[in-house]
Amino acid sequence: MTRPWRSRAYRAWIREQPCAACGAPPPSDPHHHTLKPGSKAMGVKVTDAWCVPLCRRCHDKLDSPGWSEKRFWATVGKEPRKIIRALRQRYLRERRAERWAFAPIVRCPRCSVEHRAKGVGKDQHCDECQEDRWKARPCLRCGRMMMTVPERRMCESCYASNEQIGETYRLAREGE
Boundary residue ending a domain (77, 101, 125): 101
Asked if residue 66 belongs to a domain, the reply is yes
Asked if residue 166 belongs to a domain, the reply is yes
Asked whether residue 91 falls in the same domain as residue 116, the answer is: no
Asked whether residue 81 falls in the same domain as residue 148, the answer is: no
Asked whether residue 40 falls in the same domain as residue 70, the answer is: yes
Q: How many domains, in total, are found in the chain?
A: 3
Asked if residue 97 belongs to a domain, the reply is yes
Asked if residue 2 belongs to a domain, the reply is no
Asked whether residue 28 falls in the same domain as residue 71, the answer is: yes
Asked whether residue 41 falls in the same domain as residue 111, the answer is: no
pLDDT of residue 19: 94
Asked whether residue 55 falls in the same domain as residue 125, the answer is: no
- Tell me the pTM: 0.54
Asked if residue 3 belongs to a domain, the reply is no
Asked whether residue 139 falls in the same domain as residue 119, the answer is: no
pLDDT of residue 13: 93
User: For residue 115, what are the domain limits?
Assistant: 104-133
- DSSP result, 122-133: S----HHHHHHH
How far apart are alpha carbons 170 and 151 in whole angstroms? 23
What beta strand segments (E) does 1-144 contain? Answer: 29-32, 51-54, 105-107, 114-116, 136-138
The radius of gyration of the chain from alpha carbons, rounded to an integer in Å, stands at 30
pLDDT of residue 37: 52
Q: Cβ-count burial of 36 within 10 angstroms (0-12 exposed, 13-18 middle, 19+ buried)? A: exposed
Nearest to 67 by CA among 54, 48, 86: 54
Per-residue model confidence as pLDDT tens for the chain (176 residues): 567 778 888 999 999 999 999 999 999 999 887 765 555 566 666 888 888 999 999 999 988 888 888 899 999 999 988 999 999 899 988 887 776 666 677 777 667 777 666 655 555 666 666 666 556 677 777 777 766 555 566 777 777 776 666 565 555 566 65
Asked whether residue 119 falls in the same domain as residue 60, the answer is: no
